[in-house]
Amino acid sequence: MNTIEKFNSHVMATYGRYDVVMEKGNGRTAIDENGKEYIDFGSGIGTNSLGYCDEEWADAVCAQARAVQHTSNYYYTKVQADFAEKLCGVSGYDKVFFGNSGAEANECAIKLARKYSFDKYGKDAERYKIITLKNSFHGRTLTTLSATGQDVFHNYFFPFTQGFDFAEANNIDDLKAKIDDKTCAVMFEFVQGEGGVIPLDKEFVEAIFEMCAEKDILTIADEVQTGAGRTGRFLASQNYGVKPDITTMAKGLAGGVPIGACLASEKCAGVLVKGTHGSTFGGNPLACAGGLAVLNKVGDDGFLAQVREKSEYFREKLAQIPEVESVDGLGLMIGVRLKSKKAADICKVAVDNGLLLLTAKDKLRFLPPLNITKEEIDKGIDILSQLLK
Ligand SMILES: *Cc1c(COP(=O)(O)O)cnc(C)c1O
């Protein structure tokens, strides 16, 4: 049996996969089992923020594997302390809880927000409702599916978690109408990723923060995809000049090892106390070592300035392709609407031609490694332009 046959015999068929077996990578190039090379414009859905085998990152993870690979959260580790200190420093948050994925980071945020209101207003106030946005994506666990504002995700797995309502993105009146006495939080992505790379309007974001401040409702930013430098700032919130009470991060934060982080501002940093939340693997030393190596680069203003500069370059090149109808997004999180061709079809032929792409709804989506070079952007765009002729 070859790898693909073996895989399909034993792994649940929850994904549509391309017929490619990835074996290794180098920089921004992925290499399959036959030695074929691919320019990577997807970075494993935004996880490999420093590409493949970044030297400092790989050294840090390997050294940690040879020291302590894991210990229970009943003990302290230096690497978790160092990573937490650095993460709070660059993000401007007071405290962090570590999990292993974006969904877990969001679960933590939801629990934190509900307990904040429970502690302050009591059980009888029933202040448990969380407003999220239509067309959002917050994860695959039952509660984060419930939080996701898309009907296609609300199937099969009944009953879903109660207490979520959905407002239309960029519609201030609709948000105002959905907020009531039972609302404890509003949760949103600054740029809806899976929903089609759609940034929120500045006025709408300002309205969220005004309404929430008025009623002691917590703001939760899901920065699982937009965080860790992806939008040209360490957090997407910095592009909007706001500071959410809670920010969740995951995908690119540790450079490709599983991680999730729920960051809380001073106002709500003390809500989750002993016994109220936990995770066996959360704050795992390998993940923290990877995360620290990412922050040592991505936490630097010069690095982020380069992300912004490459974003401009990337977007200009995309806009020059005749088949491209529009270019949207923020930083190196880019969505492209095509005029007549189907994004999913282009992704498929791109693989055959040595280019890894993503889709988001009916758009092409680009989440390249943050340290991609202009030469690599040129090389990938050349392949794409040919395919779009
Ligand atoms: C990917 C994603 C998630 C889910 O993250 P997992 O690590 O797959 O659980 C949640 N929110 C957003 C915005 C995402 O992009």
Can you spell out the DSSP letters for 202-219?
A: HHHHHHHHHHHHHTTPEE
What residue owns the CA closest to ligand 1's atom 6? 102
Provide CB contacts within 8 A for 128, sequence distance 6+. 114, 117, 118, 163, 182, 184
User: How far, in Å, from the CA of 189 to the mean position of ligand 1?
Assistant: 10
Q: Which of 153, 237, 251 to mutate to test the pocket of ligand 1 (most atoms within 8 A of CB)?
A: 251
Q: What is the pLDDT of residues 5-26, one digit of tens each?
A: 999 999 999 999 999 999 999 9
Specify the pLDDT at position 351. 98
- Does the pLDDT value for residue 131 go beyond 90? yes
**Average pLDDT across the chain, whole number:** 98
Q: How far is CA 165 from CA 11, 56, 176, in A?
A: 35, 44, 12
Instruction: Give phi and psi for 48, each to the nearest 5.
Output: -85, 70
User: How far, in Å, from the CA of 46 to the mean position of ligand 1?
Assistant: 10
Q: What is the pLDDT of residues 290-338, one digit of tens each?
A: 999 999 999 999 999 999 999 999 999 999 999 999 999 999 999 999 9
Q: Which of 108, 110, 135, 138 to mutate to test the pocket of ligand 1 (most atoms within 8 A of CB)?
A: 138
Mean pLDDT score, 203-217: 98
Show the tokens assigned to 318. 């995309």
In the sheet that holds 218-222, the strands lie side by side as 95-99, 260-264, 246-249, 218-222, 183-188, 129-133, 164-167
Specify the pLDDT at position 195. 97
User: How far, in Å, from the CA of 103 to the mean position of ligand 1?
Assistant: 6
- Strands 324-330, 358-360: pairing kind: unpaired
- Does the pLDDT value for residue 1 go beyond 90? no
User: How far, in Å, from the CA of 107 to the mean position of ligand 1?
Assistant: 11
251 DSSP β-pair partners: none
Q: Residues near ligand 1 with C-beta < 6 Å?
A: 101-103, 106, 137-139, 189, 193-194, 222, 224-225, 250-251
Q: How many CA atoms lie within 13 A of 85 on its CB side?
A: 7
Give the position, in ligand 1's atom list, of the atom nearest the Cα of 139: 4
